[in-house]
Structure 1
Amino acid sequence: MKTTHAILIGSALLAGAALTVPAARCAWAADAAEGGDMHMHHHMMSGTMRSTVDYTLPPVKLIREDGKTVSLIDELNDGRPVILTFIYTTCTTICPMVSQTFEKLQSELGSDRDKVHIVSISIDPEQDTPARLRSYAARFDAGPEWQHYTGTVAASIETQRAFNVYRGDKMNHTPVAFVRAAPGKPWLRIDGFATPAELLSAYHDAVASN
């Protein structure tokens, strides 16, 4: 099944730094169902589009910012709720905004902060070495629950394809976040510039329904 969602960005979200994002990167179409089983489409919230999808994690190895080679499946299925996105460190438009949102979310999780696995996966692994990811993570005060991953080009592309975010060229990537309550549960996909409050609400909803 293949369904295309046209995403409209609210004017409030286009204020400030968002105005620097080229129009081609703002007017995106997310085919959230491809690579997964779409359960439902529902409301737009603050210029974002939500969908609930079952994705099959690929059996790939990634490299964490600490230099350790790990299994993507093992990392995401360690029992913790997961909040995930895709970035690259030289991005000057979308990625800093998404990472700033995750930084704010990290502080707003409160006592739940240590219970959540926040994940940022590089879509530019040739440039994003573990050392560069450590530096990038430090820019956004990433705590131990927020980990950054790189790997081979093949592993990165396979992971992007699994979550249907692969756009061929890193310059064509779009803002998207994924929330999952526990292993075996579907993912809530949020296309667009989700606010910290929206991600926090999505996290609480996911955990409450688990």
Structure 2
Amino acid sequence: MIADRFGRLRLALAGTAFALAAAVFPAQAHDHHDAHDAPGYARKAAAYRLPEATLVRADGSRANFPSEIDDGKPVILNFVFTTCTAICPVLSQSFAEFQRLLGTERNKVRMVSISIDPEEDTPERLAAYAKRFGAGRQWDFYTGSVQASVALQKAFQTYFGDKMHHRPMTFMRAAPGEAWVRLEGFATPGELLKEYRRLVAAR
């Protein structure tokens, strides 16, 4: 019962944090210190050519991109860093709630979070971060070299130099070889689920 109460409290607090962040950060251009009163997100299709890059999972094992995400499953991907106090906790909590909404269907999805601060985000830190948000087996966290992280950020056109200038973005793809859907801004867990359903229904 205590665990249930704690879980409900955590979700309530996360919901409050999401509402506050959505009110503070615009969907298009901002940094950690900007203020804006227009929450939401913009959706567009995009084609990305991913470079070959080796990253490290939270368990310390190596992962080769893009083959790591080319196993045929739908992919939902974002970029975060563990010491972020504004954008990343909101994105990660949205992912956490999204996986809950998926239920058993989560096993058919590959969720990916790539660190944009690999010098600080060791596998151990990523593992702790993943535990903090209750990441399931389908949700993997990656770190690695700065070069590899930047290469992937640039491939997704989400590299802004300093980590403090990064923007809230989520990327979805139904299957290898298909176009990505780029969501710029804060999509709620329900909106993520809606976008996911729309994506897989079109396959």
Q: Same fold (TM over 0.5)?
A: yes
2:50 aligns with one of 54, 57, 62:
57
What are the superposed Cα offsets for residues 99-121 of structure 1, whole Å, 9 maximum, x if unpaired?
00000000001221101000000
Residue of structure 1 equivalent to 2:132: 139
Q: Structure 2 CA distance, aligned partners of 1:198 and 1:130?
A: 30
**Would you say 1:165 and 2:158 are equivalent positions?**
yes
Q: Structure 1 unaligned runs (5+)?
A: 1-14, 31-45
Deviations 1:187-206, CA, capped at 9 Å, x for gaps: 00000000111111111111
For structure 2, which runs of at least 5 residues remain unmatched after alignment?
1-14, 31-38
| Letter matched to residue 116 of structure 1 | V
The number of residues matched between the two structures is 181
Give TM-score, length-normalised by structure 2: 0.84
Q: Structure 1 residue 194 and structure 2 residue 182: aligned?
A: no
Aligned residue for 2:96?
Answer: 103
The residue aligned with 2:29 is: 29
The list of structure 1 runs, each at least 4 consecutive aligned residues, that deviate by more than 6 angstroms after superposition, is none
- 8 Å contact kept, 1:58–1:73: yes
SS of the residue 2:66 aligns to: helix
Q: Is the Cα contact below 8 Å between 2:118 and 2:149 reproduced in 1?
A: yes
Tell me by how many angstroms 1:27 deviates: 6.4
Q: Which amino acid aligns with 1:135?
A: A
Question: Is the alpha carbon distance of 1:20 and 1:182 closer, same or farther for their aligned partners in structure 2, counting shifts above 3 Å?
Answer: closer
Cα displacement (A) at 1:21:
8.1
Change (3 A) 1:27 1:49: closer
Identity %, equivalent residues = 52
Could you report, residue by residue, the CA deviation over 1:19-53 in whole angstroms, capped at 9, with x for unpaired residues?
Answer: 46896x536439xxxxxxxxxxxxxxx62100100
Q: Equivalent residue of 1:58, what SS?
A: coil
- Secondary structure at the aligned position of 1:188 is classed as strand
Q: Per residue, is there more strand in 1 or in 2?
A: 1
TM-score by length of 1: 0.81
CA distance in 2, matches of 1:115, 1:179: 14
Inter-partner Cα distance in structure 2 for 1:119 and 1:80: 12
What is the SS of the residue equivalent to 1:55?
A: coil
Name the residue aligned to 2:110: 117
Q: How far apart, in 1, do the equivalents of 2:21 and 2:46 lie?
A: 31
